[in-house]
Amino acid sequence: MRKPIIAGNWKMNKLAGEGARFLMDLREKLPEKDKVDTVVCAPFIHLPLLTEAARDFPVSIGAQNMHFEDSGAFTGEVSPEMLKDILVDYVVLGHSERRELFGETDESVNQKVKAAFNHELTPIVCVGESLEQRENNETFTFVEQQVKNGLEGLSEDQLKQVVIAYEPIWAIGTGKTATSEEANDVCTHIRQVLQDTYSKGVAQAVRIQYGGSVKPQNIEELLGMSDIDGALVGGASLEEDSFLKLVEAGANA
Ligand SMILES: O=C(CO)COP(=O)(O)O
């Protein structure tokens, strides 16, 4: 059994105080860690405050990106070592916004995934096709390539800990969710790729999230699908009430 994982991706939203208040308000309400992994991925500058605020209750804190080097002349960047130092547990890598707007490639994602494991950070590796690719029936081959390239060179043990987020670009922030069947078909394909490329053990262990206009109204159906183990949520993770409902759906899945 794979434990559900619900991760909020705040993107470039909230001021630090708002973020800390958000966590404090959810303090007594979040389900226990044995039922669901709850993760909040916040802007770098909020992370120290949030890891401190989250210390005694069942939520983990994630970053939304990082560099792959530990230190050096990389102006404006943040390293995996720095994230671990302030008790960050997860890092989102290869989000489509970073690929599209900031030049991330499968190769840089792969370097970052390896660096994450060097510092005991759990990577949430994002993959997903554009509308054009979907319409050209290229979804499976494109996503397959992203998965293989992003995870290249990892050990079996590391592979089992990876979280993959399947986020079709056309469904992000558009209100246009993939149907549960469409989402699950791609997640099933990803699991098959993991089995064919690595092993059945890896394929069964890896948790695959769906992301793209997930909200309290559609999460239960998505989590009910055979190969969807959680959600990576943008807009609906910004409000306490809706985030809590998403996490509760994860705990009950
Ligand atoms: O990009 C996303 C999460 O990483 C999805 O964003 P929305 O939930 O706002 O569509």
What pLDDT is attached to residue 94? 98
Give distance in angstroms: CA of 38 to centre of ligand 1.
16
Q: Mean of the per-residue pLDDT values for the chain?
A: 97
Instruction: Read off the pTM.
Output: 0.97
Q: What is the pLDDT of residues 190-237, one digit of tens each?
A: 999 999 999 999 999 999 999 999 999 999 999 999 999 999 999 999
123 lines ligand 1 (CB under 6 A): no
Is the pLDDT at 178 greater than 90? The verdict is no
Pocket of ligand 1 contains residue 65 by CB under 6 Å: no
Phi-psi region of 153 (alpha: psi -120 to 50; beta: other; left: phi over 0): left
Burial class (CB in 10 A: 0-12, 13-18, 19+), 180: middle
ipTM tops the 0.95 cut: yes
| 170 marked as binding residue | no
pLDDT digits (tens, 9 = 90+) for 59-101: 999 999 999 999 999 999 999 999 999 999 999 999 999 999 9
For the annotated catalytic residues, the residue numbers are 95, 167
Tens-place pLDDT, residues 227-241: 999 999 999 999 999
Query: Average of pLDDT values for 126-138?
Result: 96
